[in-house]
Amino acid sequence: MKPALRHDLSAGPVLLACLGVFLLTSLDGVAKELSTRHSTIDVVSIRYMSGVFWSSLTTLILRPPMPNLDMIKAHSVRAFFFAITSFLFFYALAALPIVETMVVTYVSPIFMALFGRILLSEKVHPSTAMAILISFIGVLVIALGKGFSPLGMGGSWLGILAALGSAGTYALSGVLLRARTGSDAIGSIVVLQNVLTAAIIVPISLVIGSPFEAIVQDWPLVLLIGALGTGGQFAMALALRAAPAARIGVVDYTSLIWASLIGIVIFAEWPEPTVYIGAALIMAASFLLLRQKKP
């Protein structure tokens, strides 16, 4: 019997989501590095080709059940939105500093709570709503400290719009994922997400890009980006199976901490002091989620 969708309000799913966010934020750092040498469509393409490789290996170990036609159809819709999310977000990473990109995309939990309410009829718990508010205030503190405006963001309107668009499509794909995690095996979900997204992106990349040249040139990073993505997908899928979308969505805010560290260590992007004030608020919001008890 396949595991049912749960509403676990313990710390477990939140901590699991934190691990997923760490892995996926590390993936973003690798993608930003690759974007300095390759086009956005090539970076997205090699990310999912590598993801197909790693998720296939995990399938050989876990041996999840074969997907049926209904599952393939449902995840094809998710793959479409995920392909859009990846392209828009990687474009924003190439156009903006990594921390500023994260600041813009932190509207995603708001979208996720909204879509969870509309598509899954999930009630937003008062403490979850408070956590969203506190986290968003933290993001605003950081944004204001960095001069959050079209000029303060380097004048890259396309980068800003791409980041906002990726936040909306990411939230929608996350809610659609939760709708399926109660009936689909996690291993099958991760493999399908990589295979179906690659089926959308790779043909486009072959026409307008050069993905295989990028793989040959940067194969260690190609292997790393797929491993990080597969691990992050497993962690997030397990977390979304166990807990409501709005509750898990707030954990996305913790990626600012990892993005700040990646920006400093790898890209020499030193955050403003307000980043630490905002990070404290975001961590307080996450602590509020951990203390929330099941009624």
- Domain boundaries along the sequence of the chain: 11-291
Quick one: tokens of 123?
Answer: 């009630």
Over residues 33-67, the pLDDT tens digits come to: 999 999 999 999 999 999 999 988 888 887 877 77
Cα-based angle 95, 51, 75 (whole degrees, multiple of 5): 95
Concatenated DSSP letters for 136-176?
A: HHHHHHHHHHTT-STTTTTT-HHHHHHHHHHHHHHHHHHHH
Task: Give the pLDDT band of residue 11 (cuts 50, 70, 90).
Answer: confident
Structure-derived torsion over alpha carbons of residues 216, 95, 191, 12, reported in degrees to the nearest 10: 130
Task: Give the pLDDT band of residue 120 (cuts 50, 70, 90).
Answer: low
Quick one: tokens of 215?
Answer: 């793989």
Over residues 247-284, the pLDDT tens digits come to: 776 787 788 788 888 988 888 887 777 777 877 787 67
